[in-house]
Chains A and B, each alone.
Chain A
């Protein structure tokens, strides 16, 4: 080992200093990169939430319709309750076409039914009754009380779903006659749903959904977190495009719903790589024309 000399203190300190600077710089870059990466993931998650809300709600709402009872003149709307952050409605789940020979207590629809899914016993049902085939002025959707569903029925050689029903009622005290009904008519089934801006157990506000048909006890989160103040806003318009006051409006007047969604990131984000101090915000606004609000 003789003849070999070590580094001087100055040399060591110089090297350590240079290395420290290099490591600090690299660390800075890495930390900034990690922040950017994390922020981008947060941002993507937030955008996905808002996008999901912006797609799901119009999909649920645009099939909403209404119908009037020919005898009583009463209007039945698929929107049940409206509010600035709350909406309760009949979400259409499918459409079937009747087949076979019906009785007043049994209607069969061809398989497969069209739409989201097959009918459930918890669904609401409506039967299209023509009455006089020479005119559509007396046509109406009649509520159908379904007491049983047989998914393995047939229409001749074809598969069908049989709905066991109470006798359809055209108006209070007026039962439907079979002569008023024509095979091949449609049956619609729906799930009563409510959507709202609500606070989940984690303390964050979410778009919540609840199936009233399934008697769900509370709301479940669908998308979020959303802004606690303006995260979800519904505005309602009538057929003339006039903005309606939801506290003074009958749901049957609604022809279009404006949906505003403001999403928040779960954590503060910084796309510049600096120390994040604020949560990210992204907003979307969609107006949904209710496609089935025509009388005929």
Chain B
């Protein structure tokens, strides 16, 4: 039998094996590297888009949740007074690692810059992707040329003398001076009591209950046209009535005891702006007991779409009241803001009080409007301004969207 000694064996198997392992290892490592790079790039793309969409969500959230009065309370930004409204950070629902924050900067009296930052966080809360978007915004609001306590096209029909019509600018009763711009102790902010494109309907005895500046009434005013009741610059009557959030009162109906409504499911309770018959709180507290303070800053637009609309047995609200047909106030109705009636307006009963201004067109009807009973109508620039701002909405500017990284 032959015996082989391994001592002098000089094969190349080991070398070949090592070489093969190195080459195969390099190929495998290269494959893994390419795969890893692809995976990382793919993840980065996904994270980047998540941050981008979060930023978009931040812009949308801000545009839909911040109301006009909040915008207007922001001072104009400057390096010396770098105040912005910081709206904080929110997590995207269902995505705990994705969040957005937003803030509003006022650029000048009318323009605002909404900035939203979307972030995608990784393990340990480290930010691994972010995107910043800007949307330039301005407020669109109806510009309603009111220069009388009552503006009409048909003469007003007066019955009795238990009424008061004043064009002297004043705050609605109980409203606090801090809510409004200062009143002019002179007459620069006062208007006439009644302004009509035809006759006012007021005789000499009625004049005792009418006040205004520079005159109590103006008849045959050519500036009062049908456009006065329909064209409000940024809005028309129709577009104002079509705004989101407008309270629609359909058909021919009578409403009793309409007042502010609280959402008691919240703690503390908040004004229930979704309630169909919540028209805000025109009363102030003090001194009116029972005033719903949570609704004192709520100025809705209410739209009566039927042929006639009637409020009876005490109702109250504030904002803009639009009525397509006729409006009848049958007693105890109190409103602060604007009342615009396309048909005729009939006021009777006692305790009707309207502060702000009334515009009634009435061109399609033959009958005249009537004012009777214990009626108080007073011009209030503050109530009008509040009502108009309540209808204002932030509008994105053309070319106002930008990615600022």
A binds B: yes
For A114, the chain B residues whose CB sits under 8 A away are: 134, 402, 404
Interface residues of A in 46-64 (CB under 8 A from B): 47-48, 51, 55, 59, 62-63
For B34, the chain A residues whose CB sits under 8 A away are: 37, 40-41, 44
Question: In whole angstroms, what is the CA distance A40 to B27 when docked?
Answer: 11
**Is B45 interfacial (CB-CB < 8 Å)?**
yes
- Nearest CB of chain A from residue B235's CB, rounded to whole Å: 9
Question: In whole angstroms, what is the CA distance A65 to B134 when docked?
Answer: 15
Let me know if A158 and B79 touch, CB within 8 A.
Answer: yes
Task: Write the chain A residue with the least CB distance to B37.
Answer: A44
Q: Which bracket fits the contact residues of B? A: 35 or more
For B35, the chain A residues whose CB sits under 8 A away are: 40
Question: In terms of DSSP, what is the predominant structure of the interface of chain A?
Answer: mixed
For B28, B109, B401, the residue with the greatest tally of chain A CB atoms inside 10 Å of its CB is: B401
- Nearest CB of chain A from residue B404's CB, rounded to whole Å: 4
Instruction: Return the contact of A295 from the options B107, B113, B398 (Cβ within 8 A).
Output: B398
Instruction: Return the contact of B24 from the options A30, A133, A136, A185 (Cβ within 8 A).
Output: A30
Let me know if B234 and A185 touch, CB within 8 A.
Answer: no
Question: In terms of DSSP, what is the predominant structure of the interface of chain B?
Answer: mixed
**Is A66 interfacial (CB-CB < 8 Å)?**
yes
Question: In whole angstroms, what is the CA distance A37 to B29 when docked?
Answer: 9
Instruction: Return the contact of B27 from the options A33, A51, A158, A296 (Cβ within 8 A).
Output: A33
For B45, the chain A residues whose CB sits under 8 A away are: 51, 55
Task: Write the chain A residue with the least CB distance to B77.
Answer: A184
Q: Which of B119-127, B135-143, B350-358 sits within the interface? A: B135-143
**Is A212 interfacial (CB-CB < 8 Å)?**
no
For A115, the chain B residues whose CB sits under 8 A away are: 402-405
For A158, the chain B residues whose CB sits under 8 A away are: 79
For B111, the chain A residues whose CB sits under 8 A away are: 128, 130, 182, 184-186
Task: Write the chain A residue with the least CB distance to B399.
Answer: A65
**Is B20 interfacial (CB-CB < 8 Å)?**
yes
For B134, the chain A residues whose CB sits under 8 A away are: 95, 114
- Nearest CB of chain A from residue B279's CB, rounded to whole Å: 26
**Is A36 interfacial (CB-CB < 8 Å)?**
yes
Q: Mark B23-39, 1 if CB is under 8 A from A, else 0.
A: 11001101100110110
Task: Write the chain A residue with the least CB distance to B139.
Answer: A136
For A95, the chain B residues whose CB sits under 8 A away are: 134, 402, 404
Give 19 CB contacts A-B under 8 Å: A33-B31, A36-B27, A47-B38, A51-B41, A63-B401, A97-B107, A128-B399, A130-B110, A130-B111, A135-B143, A136-B140, A136-B395, A156-B80, A182-B108, A184-B76, A186-B111, A293-B398, A295-B398, A296-B395
Instruction: List 9 additional contacts besides A30-B20, A51-B45, A292-B398; criterion CB under 8 Å.
Output: A47-B38, A63-B401, A67-B398, A115-B402, A135-B234, A139-B138, A186-B136, A292-B400, A296-B138
Which 9 A-B pairs give the minimum distances between C-beta atoms? A184-B108, A184-B107, A65-B399, A114-B404, A33-B27, A291-B401, A135-B233, A292-B399, A40-B34
